[in-house]
Structure 1
């Protein structure tokens, strides 16, 4: 976490909406797509990291993209300066683990 100041997350229902959110997030700001997690019963979270302003912009844009498709965002958050131990949880989200 030393390089990054913030995490941004969006949770919605369905892979199509999560992909739209992730695409919008990555296009809107200089963030790194970390991965996603199928939370439960179709709810999926997508996670990005970057500086605080970029994460805020990315999350706002991702939320709007999902809502523009007529879907509902279950939750979203930007965590500024997360504790270093959060990295243990982030590893679970990693796209590298899914492709691995």
Structure 2
């Protein structure tokens, strides 16, 4: 079954926290990456089934924008990333995220 990856980049920590919280509550996804992009921009990435990731990203965008002072810079959903992308980019399941894997 294809596993999508969804990424949201926000300006500021409160917005990324609200986005991540909304993403995991809105759909059956697992957070696989969180990090700093540059100068106050933060990224959160989730994995799951395509429909679940799309629903999670929509909820994350809404929550990030609704946060006081929050701003969603960009977002993207990749429906079925190839294995070579998973090897190079930090979007694979790790030992830290594996216990929370839903599928």
Which structure has greater helix proportion? 1
Partner of 1:51: 49
* Helix, strand or coil at the partner of 1:75: strand
The number of equivalent residue pairs is 94
- 2:77 paired with 1:78: yes
Q: TM-score, normalised by structure 1?
A: 0.84
Stretches of 4+ aligned residues off by more than 3 angstroms:
none
What does residue 9 of structure 2 align with? 11
| RMSD (CA atoms) | 2.1
For each residue in 1:41-62, what CA deviation from the matched residue of structure 2 results, as whole angstroms up to 9, or x when unmatched?
0101100000100000000000
Gaps of 5+ in 2: 97-103
Determine the C-alpha separation between the residues in 2 that align with 1:20 and 1:79.
22
Distance (whole Å) between structure 2 residues aligned to residue 67 and residue 23 of structure 1: 13
Structure 1 unpaired stretches of 5+ = none
> How does the TM-score come out when normalised to structure 2?
0.82
